[in-house]
Amino acid sequence: MSEELKNKAKELLTNKKVDLIIGYQRAADGVLAAPCFIDSQDDAEKLIWDSYCVYNLASYLKDFPAKRKGIVVKVCDLKSITVLLQENQVKREELLIIAASCPGVIDEKRLNPLDQQAQEIVFAGKCKTCKTITPAYYDILINEPQKNDKLSEIGQDEYEPVRKLEAKSIEERFKFWESEFSRCIRCYACRQICPLCYCPKCVAEQITPGYFSKGVNLEGNLSWNITRAMHLAGRCIDCGECERACPVGIPLRDINKKIEKEIKELFKYEAGLSVEQKPLLSCFDKSDPEDFIK
């Protein structure tokens, strides 16, 4: 598949169909992958495509305004491009979407940091319940889409971790999250890696007024994490990058998935389904539930 990708990339660059291609290359350690930006056909040799290509490259689109960008995407990443189009952050005519058939990607956190050799692949949580095989749209499709049959165990509940937490008492839930958030160092890797966190100046950085404490403490960390989650409500497409990027292992996907589950149940809304869709919080239904309102 990497060969097919390289050839396509060379063709696109030679024919000046794109100014650059955002893709993956092998990282310096020789095992993992790293993002790369290819603007000459010679460099196209660097491109790779395999289960180590974890990154959602859509985050880089904003770095190249007004350029024609080829971008290698997985099925899940594509949805974030849909949201970016919906929110007028990229122009479709500047995009050439190279959809790569995705066998599932690794869970980086499961790699033993001491082991210097290639290790057995453990798939990321999001891949285990991913049922989508064919990308909704693309310009170029690399290889026939097929799914690793170890994955997508039909019937596996993608909200299982969420439900487990829901089943706990409110005190237990608070203790759990208090302990998780206590590790947050406010490095904002979760925000920076997120393709949908593109605000010119995040509310977390604003000072007049400051919306919540910049201090690394319970109130500051809780406020930041709630704000991040709220700002992704109806937008998060579960690429899982926030959780992967978090150096201290906060289960951010479990928060995103909770909101995803609620809005599906309460408002029949799913993020990233179409460009024309109205944003969840810019619309309403007169019959939205309100049982908690007095």
Partner 1 sequence: MTGDRSEWEPKIVGFLCNWCSYAGADLAGQSRLEYPPNVKIIRVPCSGRVNPLFVLKCLSSGVDGVLISGCHTGDCHYSEGNFHARRRFTILRKLFEYLGIDPKRFQMAWVSASEADKWAKLVKGLVEEIRQAGPNKLGHR
Partner 2 sequence: MLRIAQKEELQKMIDGFLADYEVIGPRELPGKGIFYQPITNAQDLYLGERFAIEPVKKFFFRPSEYLFEGGLKEGSEFLEGIPLAQNKRMIIGVRPCEARGLALLDKIFNTEYKDEAYVSLREKTILVGLSCQAPGKDCFCTSIGGSPVQARGMDALIFSAGSKYVIEIITDKGKDIFDTCPKEPDKEEIKAWESLKEKSNAALRKKIKIPESLDNIFESGYWGKVSSACISCGVCTYLCPTCHCFDLVDEERKKLRCYDGCAFSDFTLEASGGNPRPTKMERYRQRVFHKFDYFKKNFGEHLCVGCGRCIRHCPVKMNIAEIVDQAPV
Partner 3 sequence: MKIGVFVCHCGTNIAATVDVEKAAKAALNLAKVKFSTTYKYMCSSPGQALIKDAIKEKGLDRIVVCACSPSLHEKTFRECLKESGINPYLLEIANIREHCSWVHRDRETATRKAIEIMKLAVTKVTHNRPLEKTHMPIEKRVLVIGGGISGIQSAIDISFAKFPVVIVEREASIGGRMARFDKTFPTLDCAACILTPKMVTVAQNKYVTLHTYAEIEEVTGHVGDFKVKIRKKARFVDTSKCTGCGACWNKCPAKVASEFDLGLCKRTAIYTPFPQAVPNIPVIDRENCLYLKSKKCGLCQKVCPFGAINYQMQDEIIEEKFGAIIVATGFTQFDHSVYGEYGYGKYRDVITGLHFERMANSSGPTGGKIIRPSDGKVARDVVFIQCVGSRDEQKGVSYCSRLCCMYTAKHALLLKEHNPDSQAYVFYIDIRAAGKNYEEFVKKVQNEYGAVYLRGRVSRIFEKGGKLIVRGADTLSGAQIEIKADLVVLAVGLIAQNDAAKLAQMLHIPYDQNNLFTEAHPKLAPVETITSGVFLTGACQSPKDIPDTVATASAASVKALGLLVQDQLEKEPLVARVDKNLCSGCQACIKACSFNAIETKEVEDRALKRKRTVAEVIEGVCSGCGNCTAVCRMSAIDLEGFSNRQIMEEIEVL
The Cα 128–Cα 257 span in angstroms is: 14
Asked if 114 is part of the footprint of partner 2 (rule: CB under 8 A), the reply reads yes
Residue appearing with tokens 């949580």 = 125
Asked if 214 is part of the footprint of partner 2 (rule: CB under 8 A), the reply reads yes
Asked if 244 is part of the footprint of partner 2 (rule: CB under 8 A), the reply reads yes
Return the residues of window 58-77 that contact partner 2 according to CB under 8 A: 59-60, 63
266 binds, among partner 2, partner 3, partner 1, none (CB under 5 to 8 A by kind): partner 1
Asked if 191 is part of the footprint of partner 2 (rule: CB under 8 A), the reply reads yes
Query: Which spans of this chain sit near partner 3 (rule: CB under 8 A)?
Result: 65-66, 87-89, 198-203, 206, 208-211, 231, 278-279, 281-283, 286
Asked if 178 is part of the footprint of partner 1 (rule: CB under 8 A), the reply reads yes
CA 125 distance to own-chain centroid? 12
Binding part of the chain for partner 2, among 83-91, 148-156, 239-247, 267-275 by CB under 8 A, reads 239-247
Residue 10 or 231 with smaller CB distance to partner 3: 231
114 binds, among partner 2, partner 3, partner 1, none (CB under 5 to 8 A by kind): partner 2
Residue 192 or 206 with smaller CB distance to partner 3: 206
206 binds, among partner 3, partner 2, partner 1, none (CB under 5 to 8 A by kind): partner 3
Asked if 197 is part of the footprint of partner 1 (rule: CB under 8 A), the reply reads no
Residue 39 or 87 with smaller CB distance to partner 3: 87
Residue 15 or 88 with smaller CB distance to partner 3: 88
Q: Which amino acid is at 55?
A: Y
Asked if 27 is part of the footprint of partner 1 (rule: CB under 8 A), the reply reads no
Return the residues of window 25-44 that contact partner 2 according to CB under 8 A: 27-29, 32-37
95-100: strand order across its sheet: 33-38, 20-26, 69-73, 95-100, 140-142
Asked if 217 is part of the footprint of partner 2 (rule: CB under 8 A), the reply reads yes
The Cα 73–Cα 186 span in angstroms is: 28
Do you find a cis peptide bond into 195, omega within 30 degrees of 0? no
The Cα 72–Cα 143 span in angstroms is: 13
Report the SS3 class of residue 127: helix
Whether residue 158 contacts residue 254, with contact meaning beta carbons closer than 8 Å, is answered with no
Asked if 248 is part of the footprint of partner 1 (rule: CB under 8 A), the reply reads no
The Cα 37–Cα 32 span in angstroms is: 17
User: Which residue in 13, 132, 135 sits closest to 68, CA to CA?
Assistant: 13
- Quote the DSSP letter at residue 281: G
The 10 Å Cβ neighbour count of residue 25 is 17
